[in-house]
Amino acid sequence: MTSTINRQFIDGKLVESGGQDRYTVNSAVTGETLAYATMGDEADVARAVEAAKRALPAWSATSLEERRGYLQKLADAFAAHSDAMVSALVEEFGTTTPTARYIVSQSRDWFIAAQDLVTDDTFVEQIGDATVNHVPVGVAVLITPWNGASWFMAMKASVALAAGCTVIFKPSERGIWQVQPVIDALAEAGLPDGVINVVVGRGNPVGNALTQHPDVAKVSLTGSTATGKVIARNGVDTMKRVTLELGGKSATVILEDADLAQAVPFAVQAGLFNNGQACIAGTRVLIPASREDELKQALAEAVSSLKVGDPTEPDTAVGPVLDREQYDRIQSYIRKGLEDGGELLAGGEGHPEGLEGGNYVKPTLIAATNDDTIAREEIFGPVLTVITYQDEAEAIRIANDSDYGLHAYVAAGDVDHGREVARQIRAGRVMVNDVIDAPDAPFGGFKQSGIGREFGRFGIAAYLETQTIFSK
């Protein structure tokens, strides 16, 4: 049965959207319509900014103990709504149930981890005669994507609130189904009115109105590079502070001494996590010419063996992608890769057999060159490009020959040597031989993958301004 979504969370209350624009929410799994949603508008933005501005003085003056207590309330509320969050993730954008559970569990954990950052040392330090105060930057707008809404919302809000900022979320309208249980959790957490607000709407008008508003001091975006450039331009007149976590086209470099049994699963996991719908996906797999045949065969066998299907089934490795628009976009890249002379090693165009009903894509592996479109542009789906290099210097050159620099991976037999190679890759994070969960280490990108860093103490620093007071 199709439902109706018509609510925002503003000034501590669930209120109807002020806009008239409607968005149709479809299931990634079946393609059926789940809901019709009414989007927010500039009037909703104005109310949310006013509420956040009004709440800022009292919130930034809360004691550290009070702030830690509120962060725990948010963690508890997210835990209470975890089942609904998992179901919504799976239904709306097709991630598998185990991945959805991981995303939602980490969503709660961000609020727990942020409590450890709420200490005197975070906010005050002494440098000779100077007392350095780290003070909240002000009202912060948090713009989040659709590929795991609860995770991004919690990650950003946890440190923004810990810093003493009030926040306004602008989640992607393409993730509005996932956002509903998050709104329920935020409403039940019991924070003071106006400290957290949610306005769901399109980039135009809602995103533009928020990022141009003179009372907004900070914008944090996770999204595309194109959107990041718009936000940077929108904020320049009022010198908004920005954190931009943008696109990626990450390389997985398999070195000549890599263990095949370890390197191939590592590359597949890095490239196809979340059905390939991840900014950190290692979608360019670089292999040495000396082992080209065996690595192509092993990678093709690994990708071909992945079960594609219903994301609620426990043995499904790859579920559907978000929507028909995303499906068509991925198909166009596969087609372009083959038209440009790429060698199809696994997968290809069209739906997997028997899965024509949802937005299912065949996990695809194409051998190409780093100059081909399929190796240059972010696809955001289960498509990997295999690129052969002649020697290690060329591997590093190819890995760095990208507009992006968010993430990278290195598979190496000699771990110390793998770390040496990793240091030469221009990426914000590089993982050697394993996909590692490191929520307290800095996250962010080089080049057109963004500006600034998130996670842990690096994340909270992005929501603090520095004030120096001298006295003798």
What does the pLDDT profile of the chain (472 residues) look like in tens digits? Answer: 789 999 999 999 999 999 999 999 999 999 999 999 999 999 999 999 999 999 999 999 999 999 999 999 999 999 999 999 999 999 999 999 999 999 999 999 999 999 999 999 999 999 999 999 999 999 999 999 999 999 999 999 999 999 999 999 999 999 999 999 999 999 999 999 999 999 999 999 999 999 999 999 999 999 999 999 999 999 999 999 999 999 999 999 999 999 999 999 999 999 999 999 999 999 999 999 999 999 999 999 999 999 999 999 999 999 999 999 999 999 999 999 999 999 999 999 999 999 998 999 999 999 999 999 999 999 999 999 999 999 999 999 999 999 999 999 999 999 999 999 999 999 999 999 999 999 999 999 999 999 999 999 999 999 999 999 998 7
Is 137 strand, coil or helix? coil
User: Which residues are CB-contacts of 92 (< 8 A; sequence separation ≥ 6)?
Assistant: 25, 27, 28, 34, 146, 175, 177, 178, 322
Quick one: tokens of 342? 């790429």
Reply yes or no: is the peptide bond before residue 314 cis, omega within 30 of 0. Answer: no
| Dihedral sign from CA coordinates of 105, 110, 40, 244 | negative
What letter would DSSP give residue 307?
P
Helix (H) or strand (E) holding 93: helix 82-93
Q: How far, in Å, CA of 138 to CA of 129, rounded?
A: 27
Predicted pLDDT of residue 340:
97
Using an 8 Å Cβ cutoff, are 140 and 169 in contact? Answer: no
Query: Which residues are identified as catalytic?
Result: 245, 279
Q: What is the pLDDT of residue 135?
A: 98
Q: Which residues pair with 253 in a beta bridge?
A: 286, 410
